[in-house]
Amino acid sequence: MELSGKTILVTGADGGIGSTLIAKLLEEGAVLILITHRKIATTLPDKCKNYACDLSNKEELSKLIGRIKTDFPKIDVLVNIAGIGIYKSIEEATVEEWETSFAINVTAPFVLMKNLLPLLSNPGTIVLNIGSGAGVIPMKNRSLYCSTKFALRGLSLSLAEEFKEREPSFCLITLGSTLTPFGTGEALTLEQKKERNKAGSAYFTPEWVSNKLIEILKAEKRENEIVLYPADYGFGTWRKP
């Protein structure tokens, strides 16, 4: 897909990967619909719009969808990046944290995909969902996060089958560790990740991930799931599951 002039919606556009990705999409000449928790300070081109929304709030999400449908006649690409990572044991985790995790990581992508389908019906349209290795590999003290990413993986791959003969196409990115401040509870800070990285632990940079996402969007064909796990600093494996 040629990205110039394409209308691309990105959730989590103010996050570590999202903010890097939108800078690259602007360089490509895309028309951006940015969903952020708070309005971003960056000045956007006239055709681009930034909507602030708490994706865990059903009323806000419903109003957001209405505004998008009013402001844009079509969407060429939907990229669901927004997420929350609460890393706690089941004894420490609360029901509210469980509900918030599912609201942001699973329900919001589902509601956006379902309600924006009429805008995603043109030939070549793509939905790109950013998953995680935590959606494949169970991890100690990450039951909340893993549960949501397992759910997102099942949702994405099921929709890929459901829409095999029609638009849009669905692609899940199963992504490994990245150098961002993502996560709460027992999550490492960005500085701790950088120290581990220096000591030999492999992480992607947001720039590497963003460049790979651009490459995937531009590809003529893509698998239903693309697995990206870091193998070395600044590099990584790109393989089929």
Q: So where are the chain's domains? A: 7-239
Written as tens digits, the pLDDT of the chain (241 aa) is: 999 999 999 999 999 999 999 999 999 999 999 999 998 877 899 999 999 999 999 999 999 999 999 999 999 999 999 999 999 999 999 999 999 999 999 999 999 999 999 999 999 999 999 999 999 999 999 999 999 999 999 999 999 999 999 999 999 999 999 999 899 998 999 999 999 888 888 899 999 999 999 999 999 999 999 999 886 433 444 444 3
Burial class (CB in 10 A: 0-12, 13-18, 19+), 71: exposed
pTM, two decimal places: 0.92
Q: Is the dihedral of CA 61, 143, 153, 205 positive or negative?
A: positive
Q: Which CATH class is domain 7-239?
A: alpha beta
Q: Residues 178-181: contacts with CB within 8 Å, 24+ apart?
A: 178/16, 178/17, 178/203, 178/204, 178/205, 178/206, 178/209, 178/230, 179/16, 179/203, 179/204, 179/205, 179/206, 180/15, 180/16, 180/17, 180/206, 181/16
Cβ(71)–Cβ(116) below 8 Å:
no
- How much is the pLDDT for 106? 98
Q: Taking the CB of residue 190, how many other CB atoms lie within 10 A of it?
A: 14
- How much is the pLDDT for 231? 65
Q: Taking the CB of residue 113, how many other CB atoms lie within 10 A of it?
A: 19
- How much is the pLDDT for 219? 96
Residues 34, 49: Cα–Cα separation, whole Å: 6
